[in-house]
Amino acid sequence: MNVQLLDLKAQYQSLKSELDAALLKTAESQYFIMGPEVTKLEDEISEYLGANHSVGVSSGTDALLLALMALDIKAGDEVIVPTYSFFATAGVVSRLNAIPVFVDSDPVTFNIDPTQIEAKITDKTKAIIPVHLYGQSADMDAIMEIAKKHNLKVVEDGAQAISAQYKDGKCVGTIGDIGCYSFFPSKNLGCFGDGGMTVTMDADLAELLKVKRVHGGKPKYYHSMIGGNFRLDAIQAGVLSVKLPHLDSWSQARRDNATLYTKLFVEAGLAEEEGKISLDENNKVLLPKAVYKETGHKNYHIYNQYVIRVEKRDELIAHLRSANIGCEIYYPVPFHKQECFKDLPSSKDEYPNADYAAEHSIALPIYPELTKEQIEYVVNTIKAFME
């Protein structure tokens, strides 16, 4: 059997005629950048997420960069980020000559641990970027309370979590000042290249995002501020408008796959329950836990990634790959251990939970079209390795 980490062809086949029509529409209109397709997508995303304003951009990374620019993050400002995330979360801070300040992860969710944020706040701190890692909301109540107390801006990195809901039922990205999403093909809502979105409840911020998306000129060619080229292509917006109505059912299929993994790992005697944080005789596989599952909201976790932790991780990866099972490490190196960040003051601090995750994590296939047989094959292959 062959189980890819992600098989985008299955999703394409299921929507082929509509997607092809969207591509042709752009070809025939010859209207490539921004325009009515982008505006339409922005309206659809706002409505879907319950956001007041959506501003389409060129990638998830550019969404974060633009958000920080709109919030006037400048050289020397400090921005709090989890040390365990995709590089862009911290990279955008450094690109503005601001200083990323790292915080360790919660051992269950892998998201930023809010109880460790305040110790990192100084008089230079301007913002926090919580990441909703793997498709599950960070603990936004705690984060927003700290932000309010210290007068900090909050930019939500929802690149992996579009439509994921926090415990109050709000979609991630609509809770802080600006929410950022990525439409990179491997995200739950992916386009045919690079794309992203910023959302906000604040009309003034939305206007700043729009102006800075196109170099910061207002009116055009008259600059009181500096922006960049962060525009979204019409072709990507067209593709995303076709896919958006299916997002909920894809996320539900991912949740169902996660439920099946848990059942099979428990039945195989490899785990007792979800959310254990240390390996032992009865828990040879640590299973992810959807911590807001009991809130009654449908998208409590959208499982962009399904990440387990094991001993002998690298050997297991080799074993899985030799059995034609795709898997990946998200992420092998936390920010505090990255060469480019080695001189940052907060790189000298200790981050035991992030270090542990970096050394023990494996992302297993979780995409919606997986079959029960494929998931059984993955669990059986892991069981054979453990015995």
Q: Single out the residue of 6, 131, 320, 378 in contact with ligand PLP (rule: CB under 6 A).
A: 131
Q: Does residue 11 bind ligand PLP (CB under 6 A)?
A: no
Nearer to ligand PLP, 89 or 381 (CB): 89
Q: How many chain residues bind ligand PLP (CB under 6 A)?
A: 15
Q: Identify the bridge partners of residue 186 per DSSP, sorted by sequence position.
A: none
Cβ-closest position to ligand PLP: 60
Residue 57 CB, nearest distance to ligand PLP (Å)? 9
**CA 245, CA 51: separation in Å to the nearest integer?**
17
Nearer to ligand PLP, 165 or 374 (CB): 165
**CA 302, CA 180: separation in Å to the nearest integer?**
16
Q: Does residue 233 bind ligand PLP (CB under 6 A)?
A: no
CA 205 to chain centroid: 22
Residue 246: partners with Cβ closer than 8 Å, 6 or more residues away: 15
Q: Does residue 159 bind ligand PLP (CB under 6 A)?
A: yes
Token couple for 178: 């600006």
Q: Which stretch binds ligand PLP (CB under 6 A): 31-39, 44-52, 55-63, 332-340?
A: 55-63
Residue 163 CB, nearest distance to ligand PLP (Å)? 15
Task: Judge contact between 300 and 290, C-beta under 8 A.
Answer: yes
**CA 281, CA 233: separation in Å to the nearest integer?**
52
Report 183-202 residues binding ligand PLP (CB under 6 A): 184, 194, 196
Q: Does residue 160 bind ligand PLP (CB under 6 A)?
A: yes
Nearer to ligand PLP, 59 or 116 (CB): 59
Residue 219 CB, nearest distance to ligand PLP (Å)? 29
Residue 158: partners with Cβ closer than 8 Å, 6 or more residues away: 132, 164, 172, 173, 179, 180, 181
**CA 187, CA 305: separation in Å to the nearest integer?**
9
**CA 248, CA 287: separation in Å to the nearest integer?**
23
Given the rule CB under 6 A, which residues bind ligand PLP?
Answer: 59-61, 85-86, 88-89, 131, 157, 159-160, 182, 184, 194, 196
